[in-house]
A and B are shown apart, each in its own frame.
Chain A
Amino acid sequence: EAQVTQNPRYLITVTGKKLTVTCSQNMNHEYMSWYRQDPGLGLRQIYYSMNVEVTDKGDVPEGYKVSRKEKRNFPLILESPSPNQTSLYFCASSARRRSAQYFGPGTRLLVL
């Protein structure tokens, strides 16, 4: 089954404790993105990747890092999480530039 998976789905952590949210797709898609969703703000793009080793900032990259060492994986790293990074995070992938994106199920993060 074609899908985008994210782990963990739920995470409670404390300020400053490094964490990684994994994202993996099995569709051989070149393009992948991370978004955060907050009430009243909609979805905002954090980072995107156009291929292995090619990443760029979205609208809200501060406090996040990404890497794309393999085509299928695109982890999101929070090196020193803060409470304002409490949010619902979505990973997405697409086959071609500016085409339909397939989203993962989301990761709900709470930073205390």
Chain B
Amino acid sequence: AQKVTQAQTEISVVEKEDVTLDCVYETRDTTYYLFWYKQPPSGELVFLIRRNSFDEQNEISGRYSWNFQKSTSSFNFTITASQVVDSAVYFCALSEASQGGSEKLVFGKGTKLTVNP
């Protein structure tokens, strides 16, 4: 069964620090998709990134970067030079593709990031 573990429940940093949010997943499938979502204090959920299991290239988008390592079943998210606006709960999620038409999506429990000025 698919599972996502975000071991860091809460992280607190000072502005401009770099911070990495960990995501470890479990799946028996060879084809799967990983996601990160952001939930700021206002409560909405915002899509950040999707990565399929065949694409292990790291991705960078501005101050955000993602490190996908199949060998350790991890899909970690790094924020460089953090800002107060990065304060949010971040969720990692997994969807197994071999379930045919299934759209099952499993989320981790989330990591609450607080960036202090």
Binding site for B on A (CB under 8 A): 31, 33, 35, 40-45, 48, 50, 56, 58-59, 88, 90, 92, 97-103, 105-106
Contacts and interface: CB of A to CB of B under 8 A. Distances in A.
Given A33-B103, A48-B103, A103-B44, 5 more contacts: A43-B45, A45-B107, A50-B103, A56-B102, A98-B95
12 contacts: A33-B103, A35-B107, A41-B109, A42-B91, A50-B101, A59-B104, A88-B43, A97-B101, A98-B50, A98-B95, A99-B50, A103-B45
Contacts, number: 59
* Minimum-distance CB pairs A-B, first 7: A42-B109, A103-B45, A100-B47, A43-B107, A48-B103, A98-B33, A98-B95
A80 B88 CA distance: 34
B104 A100 contact: no
Contact of B110 (A35, A42, A56, A58): A42
A45 B104 contact: yes
Contacts of A59: 104, 106
Contact of B108 (A35, A42, A58, A92): A42
B97 interface: yes
Nearest to B1: A59
A100 B50 contact: yes
Contacts of A41: 109
Interface string B22-66: 000000000001010000000111110010000000000000000
Given A42-B91, A42-B109, A43-B91, A105 B44 contact: yes
B81 interface: no
Contacts of A45: 104-107
A103 B33 CA distance: 18
A48 B101 contact: no
Contacts of B106: 45, 59
Given A42-B110, A43-B91, A102 B47 contact: yes
Contacts of B103: 31, 33, 48, 50, 56, 97-98
